[in-house]
Structure 1
Amino acid sequence: MSFTLPPDSLGFTPSSFRDRALAVLPPPRSAGGSELIAGASDFDLNPDLAARNVSADAMRAARPAAVLIPVIARPVVTLLFTLRTEHLSAHAGQIAFPGGKCEPQDADALATALRESHEEIGLDPALVEPLGSLDCYLTGTGFCITPVIGLVPPDVPLSLDRNEVDETFEVPLPFLMDLGNYQRHTRMIGGIERHFYAIPFAGRFIWGATAGILRHMRQRLTE
């Protein structure tokens, strides 16, 4: 698949990506609490829903969660995604980053992201170099997800939990940083027309919270 590099200064080698991320991103915050800030949400394209769902009260009520955005240190870096199994009760068959809800024993969002990544795909936490985090992403299901960005060596051994993950795959970061590859789609969810971002890639369809997180990541890294 061919694509056009976005016209910005973000580098796509492991060293240039590391330098950029460390320069502009804060370290991961605690796993929960009032310090969480919504940087993006499922309601960004739905202003009629945003007023009541992206508020101080909604933030306090949101359940904290975290995901790891694994940046694979190839000559041109890629991001690693999971394809969730079809039998799951929530988000079955969707494309996501490894992660889940914060547990009391998790010291911060990084601990949650690393624990969940180890459980879901067998990624050794010792092989992840944390580079920072994004503001949390508020979902329509009431979670506030803190995305943690980590650099991972290429070809690390993985062991997938087949109850949760069907497969993993990689997408080149330049493709994901190109706004021309983002589409707006509409779907009826709970009887309400909802608009959301989507990114088609090589026969796959990245959408919803994952696409929203990616768009916010692009904004933070290129601002």
Structure 2
Amino acid sequence: MIVGTSETSALFSAQDFRQRALNQIGAPIEHAWRDHGDHLLNPQTVLENEGLKLKDAAVLVPVVDDPDGAKIILTQRTTRLRKHAGQIAFPGGGIDEDDKSPEIAALREAEEEIGLEPSFVETVGRLPQYLSGTGFRIIPVLSVVQRGFTITPNPAEVEEVFEVPLSFLMDPANHLRDSKAWQGIVRHFYVMPYGERYIWGITAGIIRTLYERLYA
């Protein structure tokens, strides 16, 4: 079926995304992470990650409300960081003791990393947690962002900030698979090349989970 431009804009609008995200609130997600994203591709790694002592973290999945179709804000991390240097990521980081919820942590980190003021952001749900082999239990916080915000990247953490159409990221034809050996184990993961950008790893795993939960 060929979908027209107006139909595509409606299907991948921020309004439609908000409704899809809100519709899953209340659904059990405590163990749902095992059934989504690249966790399904790496059953042995999943068992190992469950046994690790993981640090709680949160990332913001910022979906920008545009009339021609929603966009997702992503960052290019600097090459000076100790973990995931140079990779494409959602804004986010560790949940501090003062953070009363993953939502508060994700909003705080987004403001610290890219200058996104919380007043422009509406949180609309969560995805199942993502367990990373680098020691984090990540809660993806879904959000809708209204235009009018100013982006100011923190040069200590972020090299660049850019946007990708939601329609591109929610198209399974753009979800390629790759693998590489890491710590003696072959790890399978999704990759989503977008122009000169190479989205992979945790970020691609979360995007794939977003597709499976809300759009598949």
TM-score band by shorter chain is 0.7 to 0.9
Q: How many residues align?
A: 208
> TM-score, normalised on structure 2?
0.87
Q: How many Å separate the matches in 1 of 2:83 and 2:37?
A: 18
CA distance 1:111–1:37, change in 2 (3 Å): farther
CA distance 1:26–1:155, change in 2 (3 Å): farther
Q: For 2:125, what is the secondary structure of its paired residue?
A: strand
Q: How many Å separate the matches in 2 of 1:23 and 1:36?
A: 17
CA distance 1:158–1:212, change in 2 (3 Å): same
Give matches, 1:1-223, under 5 Å: 11-26=11-26, 36-37=30-31, 39=33, 40=36, 43-54=39-50, 57-58=51-52, 61-75=53-67, 76-222=69-215
Please list the CA deviations of residues 40-77 of structure 1 after superposition, one character each: whole Å capped at 9, or x if unmatched: 475431223333334xx54xx32210000000001200
The answer for unaligned runs of 5 or more in structure 2 is none
Please list the CA deviations of residues 193-222 of structure 1 after superposition, one character each: whole Å capped at 9, or x if unmatched: 211111000111000010000010111112
**Which letter does structure 2 place at the counterpart of 1:45?**
L
Please list the CA deviations of residues 105-130 of structure 1 after superposition, one character each: whole Å capped at 9, or x if unmatched: 00010011001001000110111011
Deviation of 1:155 (Å): 4.6
CA distance 1:43–1:137, change in 2 (3 Å): same
Q: Does the CA contact (< 8 Å) of 1:127 and 1:153 recur in 2?
A: yes
The answer for unaligned runs of 5 or more in structure 1 is 28-34
Q: Does the CA contact (< 8 Å) of 2:115 and 2:151 recur in 1?
A: yes
CA distance 1:106–1:168, change in 2 (3 Å): same
Q: Does the CA contact (< 8 Å) of 2:120 and 2:147 recur in 1?
A: no
Please list the CA deviations of residues 180-200 of structure 1 after superposition, one character each: whole Å capped at 9, or x if unmatched: 101111112123221111100
Q: How many Å separate the matches in 2 of 1:85 and 1:180?
A: 29
Deviation of 1:171 (Å): 0.6
Q: Does the CA contact (< 8 Å) of 1:26 and 1:133 recur in 2?
A: no
Q: For 1:157, what is the secondary structure of its paired residue?
A: coil
Q: For 2:11, what is the secondary structure of its paired residue?
A: coil
Q: Higher mean Cα deviation, 103-112 or 152-161?
A: 152-161
CA distance 1:37–1:100, change in 2 (3 Å): farther
Q: Percent identity?
A: 43
Q: How many Å separate the matches in 2 of 1:80 and 1:112?
A: 17
Q: How many Å separate the matches in 1 of 2:17 and 2:139?
A: 20
Q: Does the CA contact (< 8 Å) of 1:42 and 1:196 recur in 2?
A: yes
CA distance 1:127–1:175, change in 2 (3 Å): same
Deviation of 1:89 (Å): 1.3
Q: Does the CA contact (< 8 Å) of 1:43 and 1:140 recur in 2?
A: no
Q: How many Å separate the matches in 1 of 2:161 and 2:4?
A: 24
Deviation of 1:24 (Å): 1.9
